[in-house]
């Protein structure tokens, strides 16, 4: 083949570093974006965070009478020093003399217009004023709570126990799971204590521990708080809580009998058998079941629990003048700007290493700011289109949700579906009906008899409403729910109803049956 030269005209998309950075920032959540911005500020001297107060603004002082009083960043010593310097005083000698003379003129006993209890009524010492919105304990917000095992050990240390019983108690507490139930048998505990007890300082006086001793210490631990702790099964957990109720509690004896001997029938919702076994009328059985439902099957959860995770919305949806307005949450991410001081040091014709270093970082800073701006614009554009398509949800609720897929929004904003997927991933919208992830507004559709389409989210809302309004004595089965939806021209199979019901964490009809 003879080699030849030819010209060819075509289009090609090149993944430049700027484009890669923009795509990476686009798919980050708010928390990840904050960390990315912090890393960029630490690595690039050209970037800086915008301060709460603009440069050159006067410092607010109590004498000037600002609206907010003493603002954050106000330093009393700095203000006094600057005031004295403006008056002609020397802050080194004369200021110290003036402070000494002022302190000498202050009497020891000054009249007060408040009491200690007025300031520190409840809670720990706080530097904020009482009753304000910012009145919260920083240490309490940023420290983990007491774990269940620490809480039990604290109570165990208050008990008068022998050294051996204390070792047994420690082994029992270590075997309690997060729900508060004992995770191993008494025999396993006995073997573990014997193995540990023989390697302690009491090895010389070692005698094998019997199961009776372990059971005795277990009974002691079961008297600790919270009630029901250290139980070996669900029945024992409920019985421990019933034993701690006052003796005059109505239906207490019947509840103890039901839990100890007929708990399996209660789990199966076999109320006719329970009426025959307990020999009480159905109305009394309802009172007994209600008493048992007040108990906690997982007592350990009242002490140890996961730290709450708060969601910061990326966009807000507000109704103004009969219009839905979409706004970005400006407080979700810190604001950046280019450091003018460093940028002014760059000389165009200088090719020194320092000047090249500043030029490169200035260009990177501009790319980063442009990527952030592109991310905000894309997020606002996509959120606005979602609100435009799902206006019925905002006005009438989930039952008015319309079918929506990524391709619909991609066509509306002239972007690729992958871009829409990145924008809606881990981004949240604050609406009058709550905070939802942007992906929540996308759902598949189900056909109707009339040839239309219904969103799967709307069908879930209808199923949830039907189960909430059903007769508790005769709950709706999946087949019955499918028939009700068919009457509303919604074609849904029984297995589809079961799938939607399980996604809503709604138990089957046999488990929803209860006494009125």
Shared domain for 296 and 182, answered yes or no, is yes
The pLDDT value recorded for residue 98 is 41
The pLDDT value recorded for residue 99 is 46
Q: Does 98 reside within a domain?
A: no
Q: Lowest mean pLDDT: which of 307-316, 391-400, 477-486?
A: 307-316
Shared domain for 334 and 351, answered yes or no, is yes
More confident of the two residues 139 and 384: 384
CA distance 408 to 417: 9
CB burial of 125-160 (b: ≥16 within 10 Å; e: otherwise) equals eeeeeeeeeeeeeeeeeeeeeeebbebbeeebeeee
Shared domain for 471 and 381, answered yes or no, is no
CA distance 458 to 76: 59
CA distance 224 to 220: 7
* 3-state SS class at 101: helix
More confident of the two residues 454 and 412: 412
The pLDDT value recorded for residue 200 is 52
Above 90 in pLDDT, residue 316? yes
- CATH assignment at residue 464: 1.10.10.60
Shared domain for 427 and 332, answered yes or no, is yes
Number of domains in the chain: 3
The pLDDT value recorded for residue 318 is 92
- Percent of the chain, pLDDT > 70? 77
Q: Lowest mean pLDDT: which of 51-55, 178-182, 187-191?
A: 51-55
Q: Of 267, 302, 337, which marks where a domain is finished? A: 302
The pLDDT value recorded for residue 72 is 36
The pLDDT value recorded for residue 436 is 92
Q: What is the mean pLDDT of residues 133-146?
A: 50
337 bridge partner residues: 48
Q: Does 260 reside within a domain?
A: yes
Above 60 in pLDDT, residue 251? yes
Above 70 in pLDDT, residue 326? yes
The pLDDT value recorded for residue 197 is 67
- Percent of the chain, pLDDT > 90? 13
* 3-state SS class at 132: coil
Average pLDDT of the chain is 78
Q: What is the mean pLDDT of residues 205-209?
A: 67
Above 90 in pLDDT, residue 317? yes
Q: What is the mean pLDDT of residues 342-366?
A: 84
DSSP string, 415-453: --HHHHHHHHTT-EEEETTEEEEGGGG-B-EEEBTTS-E
Shared domain for 499 and 471, answered yes or no, is yes
Band of residue 87 on the pLDDT scale cut at 50, 70, 90:
very low
> Which domain covers residue 161, as residue numbers?
148-302
Contact predicate 402/290, CB 8 Å: no
The pLDDT value recorded for residue 242 is 92
Above 50 in pLDDT, residue 79? no
Work out whether strand 434-437 and strand 428-431 pair parallel, antiparallel, or are unpaired. antiparallel
- Choose among 428, 422, 426, 439: nearest CA to 20: 422
The pLDDT value recorded for residue 384 is 93
Contact predicate 465/399, CB 8 Å: yes
Nearest-5° Cα angle at 359, 355 to 362: 135
Shared domain for 357 and 416, answered yes or no, is yes
Shared domain for 168 and 284, answered yes or no, is yes
Q: Of 409, 441, 473, which marks where a domain is finished? A: 441
CA distance 91 to 84: 7
Residues contacting residue 461 through CB under 8 Å, at least 6 positions apart: 397, 398, 399, 401
CA distance 153 to 134: 35
Shared domain for 177 and 253, answered yes or no, is yes
């Amino acid at each position: 083949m003879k080699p030849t030269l030819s010209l060819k005209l075509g289009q090609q998309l090149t993944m430049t570093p700027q484009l890669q950075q923009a795509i990476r920032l686009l798919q980050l959540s708010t928390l990840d974006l904050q960390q990315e911005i912090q890393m960029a500020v630490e690595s690039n001297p050209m970037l800086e965070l915008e301060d709460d107060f603009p440069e050159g603004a006067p410092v607010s002082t109590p004498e000037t009478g600002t609206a907010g009083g003493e603002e954050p960043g106000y330093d009393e010593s700095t203000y006094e020093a600057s005031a004295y310097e403006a008056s002609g005083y020397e802050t080194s000698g004369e200021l110290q003399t003036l402070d000494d003379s002022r302190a000498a003129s202050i009497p020891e006993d000054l009249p007060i217009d408040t009491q200690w209890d007025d300031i520190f009524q409840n809670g720990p010492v706080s530097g904020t004023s009482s009753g304000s919105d910012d009145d919260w304990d920083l240490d309490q917000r940023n420290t983990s709570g007491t774990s269940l095992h620490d809480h039990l050990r604290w109570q165990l240390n208050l008990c008068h126990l022998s050294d051996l019983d204390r070792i047994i108690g420690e082994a029992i507490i270590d075997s309690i799971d997060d729900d508060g139930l004992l995770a191993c048998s008494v025999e396993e505990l006995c073997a573990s204590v014997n193995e540990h007890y023989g390697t302690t300082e009491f090895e010389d006086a070692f005698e094998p521990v019997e199961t009776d001793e372990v059971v005795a210490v277990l009974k002691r631990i079961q008297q600790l708080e919270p009630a029901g702790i250290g139980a070996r099964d669900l029945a024992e957990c409920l019985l421990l809580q019933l034993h701690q109720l006052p003796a005059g509690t109505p239906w207490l004896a019947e509840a103890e009998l039901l839990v100890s001997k007929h708990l399996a029938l209660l789990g199966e919702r076999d109320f006719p058998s329970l009426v025959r076994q307990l020999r009480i009328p159905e109305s009394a059985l309802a009172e007994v079941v209600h008493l048992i439902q007040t108990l906690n099957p997982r007592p350990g959860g009242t002490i140890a629990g996961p730290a709450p995770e708060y969601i910061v919305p990326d966009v807000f949806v507000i109704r103004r003048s009969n219009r839905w307005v979409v706004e970005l949450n400006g407080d979700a991410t810190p604001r950046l700007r280019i450091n003018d001081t460093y940028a002014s040091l760059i000389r165009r014709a200088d090719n020194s290493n320092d000047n090249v270093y500043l030029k490169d970082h200035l260009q990177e800073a501009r790319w980063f700011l442009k990527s952030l701006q592109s991310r905000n614009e894309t997020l606002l554009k996509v959120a606005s289109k979602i609100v435009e398509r799902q206006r019925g949800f905002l006005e009438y609720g989930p039952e008015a949700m319309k079918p929506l897929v990524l391709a619909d929004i991609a066509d509306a904003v002239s972007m690729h579906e992958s871009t829409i997927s990145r924008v809606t991933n881990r981004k949240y919208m604050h609406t009058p009906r709550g905070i939802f992830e942007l992906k929540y507004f996308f759902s598949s559709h189900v056909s109707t008899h009339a040839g239309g389409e219904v969103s799967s989210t709307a069908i879930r809302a209808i199923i949830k409403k039907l189960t909430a309004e059903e007769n508790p004595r005769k709950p709706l089965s999946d087949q019955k729910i499918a028939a009700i939806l068919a009457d509303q021209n919604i074609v849904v199979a029984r297995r589809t109803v079961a799938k939607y019901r399980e996604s809503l964490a709604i138990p089957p009809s046999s488990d929803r049956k209860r006494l009125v």
